[in-house]
Chains A and B, each alone.
Chain A
Amino acid sequence: MIRIRNLHKRFGSKMVLRGLNLEIQPGETMVIIGRSGEGKSVLLKCILSLIEPDRGEIWFNQENILALKESGRARFRQRCGMLFQGGALFDSLTIEENVGFGLRRMKNYGEERIRKIVREKLALVGLKEIEHLYPAELSGGMKKRVALARAIALDPEIILYDEPTTGVDPIMADAINELINEMNRKLPVSSIAVTHDMVSAYKIADRIALLHQGRIVEVGTPAQIKRTCNPLVRQFVTGSAHGPISLI
């Protein structure tokens, strides 16, 4: 469904992505792991054309997204939902307006129908009667869940998660993981999540890919990743400071 071919991205003198290749199958949850600063979030933003890659191809079904004009890319974005690392909820809007934002802009629905969908999506992430609140009035975990409700409000075909469990306590992190699994069971979506939280990765992934020095160095199911002999993967999953991945 999504094929990424030879993706390159450089920021100034820093080469972030160096010919990245990856395929995500329909209905699959692909978790990309890697150290901070390896370009995991950059990859997600390249998929959504929020960042323009220097080189490479991103295919969605039979269409190369990077070959499209801005209007075509905007249409592709409408088929995706993105959970940003910090939630990225709009401060000046209420929770109801945040979750209903895309619906109001893209669907020709009446106000009552939009409010009903917002309530449904908030219920799906385990929240209710918070529609009138502003993001500043919510805890970190609630913000993440509202952001997730906003990401799924338009029933996307692809959901991108940027560090879904970062910044929340372990119990809330597990609740978010279960929520992602539940979402994948209930909705016919493909998901790409980036994280360096291995507990989360094992819990939500159908397959895990390790991003190292701008390339995917290993792809496998959680069981395969646990058993792998690849020293890079072993060092990362065991969280060891000693090994082929240097600290600098």
Chain B
Amino acid sequence: MNRRIIRGLILLDKFWAPVINITEDMGRVFILLGRLLTAIFKLILQPVHLRNFYLQPILEQMVRGGVNSLPVVITTALFTGMVLAIQTGVTMESKIPGSSIFIGNIVSLSLVRELGPVLTALLVTGRVGSAMAAEIGSMKITEQIDALRTLAADPVEYLGIPRFLAMLAMLPVLTVMADVLGTMGGWMVSSLYLEISSIVYWDGVRAGVEIWDILSGLVKSLFFAAIICIFALHRGFSTQGGAVGVGRATTSAVVNASITILIVDYFLAQAFAVL
């Protein structure tokens, strides 16, 4: 009997240990988010400090994370729109002849509501989130984070604020670019391959997409920007154990942010559906 109880307790411990670890980890992520948001709020009240210490780093991060991500986002969005158009057009035409005239409506709505924000966020996670975690992780193991603290700079504020604000500013812009380029990709395939007139395609786009659809996509991209940045910062600051640790932190930042983006996307989609 005693042995069974002990075995049961061991089993329970094995089950609970990962749950507790994940809960603790999420707690630390939220604490970091809280510290960042508080620091940003304080900074807004000190515009001179913002201009002197943060304006240039924010602009640099906007270029590194946003402008430099444009080629990959544009290419992905263009081809996603083209694939979406070809798959939808061919399938619809084979099932209900003539229904491919709705293709503009379907392509643009899918892109603006879901594919634009989610694909862009996943691409930026891979490109920018990983670089951010690796950079901060390397700074941690080479004692640069400690050096910041000895020189009166709070690492969370000094490294976190420019990256966080730049990501919040640039991800919606990239999302809009993805929406536009994806819709154009769909139009190219529709007119060249499916032989649907441009007027019909763009009429479908106009009829399908409402301002609320664009706004919901942009609101999603703001949430995703915060998720990418907070996981990258958290994993970077928690890096331990040399080059292997940096690799582990980078992988963990990308995997955690990607999964969280997909989960949050579902709940946001449900919330917007109710609204």
In this assembly, does B151 line the interface, its C-beta being within 8 Å of a C-beta of chain A?
yes
**Interface of chain A, main secondary structure:** mixed
Q: Are B147 and A91 in contact (CB under 8 A)?
A: no
**B97-141 CB contact bits vs A (8 Å, 1 = yes)?**
000000000000000000000000000000000000000001100
Q: Are B146 and A101 in contact (CB under 8 A)?
A: no
Q: Using CB atoms, name the residue of chain B closest to A102.
A: B151
**Residues in B neighbouring A90, C-beta threshold 8 A:** 139, 144, 147-148
CA distance A85 to B149 in the complex (A): 16
Q: Are A84 and B151 in contact (CB under 8 A)?
A: no
Of the residues A81, A88, A102, contact of B143 by C-beta under 8 Å: A88
CA distance A77 to B153 in the complex (A): 11
In this assembly, does A74 line the interface, its C-beta being within 8 Å of a C-beta of chain B?
yes
CA distance A102 to B151 in the complex (A): 5
Query: Quick one: given A84-B143, A86-B143, are A105 and B152 in contact (CB under 8 Å)?
Result: yes
In this assembly, does A43 line the interface, its C-beta being within 8 Å of a C-beta of chain B?
no
Q: Are B152 and A84 in contact (CB under 8 A)?
A: no
**Residues in B neighbouring A77, C-beta threshold 8 A:** 149-150, 152
CA distance A190 to B274 in the complex (A): 67
Number of B residues contacting the other chain (C-beta, 8 Å)? 14
Count of A-B contacts judged by CB separation below 8 Å: 49
CA distance A49 to B186 in the complex (A): 58
Tell me, rounded to whole Å, the shortest Cβ–Cβ distance linking A125 to chain B: 17
**Residues in B neighbouring A181, C-beta threshold 8 A:** none
**B5-25 CB contact bits vs A (8 Å, 1 = yes)?**
000000000000000000000
Number of A residues contacting the other chain (C-beta, 8 Å)? 21
Q: Are A82 and B144 in contact (CB under 8 A)?
A: no
In this assembly, does B94 line the interface, its C-beta being within 8 Å of a C-beta of chain A?
no
In this assembly, does B142 line the interface, its C-beta being within 8 Å of a C-beta of chain A?
yes
Q: Are A102 and B146 in contact (CB under 8 A)?
A: no
Q: Using CB atoms, name the residue of chain B closest to A105.
A: B152
**Residues in A neighbouring B142, C-beta threshold 8 A:** 86, 88
Q: Are A80 and B150 in contact (CB under 8 A)?
A: yes
In this assembly, does A18 line the interface, its C-beta being within 8 Å of a C-beta of chain B?
no
Q: Are A45 and B152 in contact (CB under 8 A)?
A: no
In this assembly, does A48 line the interface, its C-beta being within 8 Å of a C-beta of chain B?
yes
Query: Quick one: given A86-B142, A90-B144, are A50 and B149 in contact (CB under 8 Å)?
Result: yes
Q: Are A88 and B151 in contact (CB under 8 A)?
A: no
**Residues in A neighbouring B151, C-beta threshold 8 A:** 101-102, 105-106, 150
Q: Are A74 and B143 in contact (CB under 8 A)?
A: no
In this assembly, does A184 line the interface, its C-beta being within 8 Å of a C-beta of chain B?
no
CA distance A82 to B153 in the complex (A): 14
Tell me, rounded to whole Å, the shortest Cβ–Cβ distance linking A161 to chain B: 13
**Residues in B neighbouring A45, C-beta threshold 8 A:** 146
CA distance A46 to B144 in the complex (A): 17
Of the residues B53, B139, B150, B152, contact of A82 by C-beta under 8 Å: B150
Chain A residues with a Cβ under 8 A of chain B = 45, 48, 50, 74, 77-78, 80-82, 84-86, 88-91, 101-102, 105-106, 150
Known: A81-B150, A90-B144; 10 extra A-B contacts, CB below 8 A, are A45-B146, A48-B150, A50-B150, A74-B149, A84-B146, A91-B139, A101-B151, A102-B152, A105-B152, A106-B152
Complex A-B: 6 CB contacts under 8 Å: A74-B152, A82-B146, A84-B146, A85-B143, A101-B153, A105-B151
Top 7 nearest A-B pairs by Cβ distance?
Answer: A88-B147, A88-B143, A102-B151, A84-B143, A82-B150, A50-B146, A88-B144
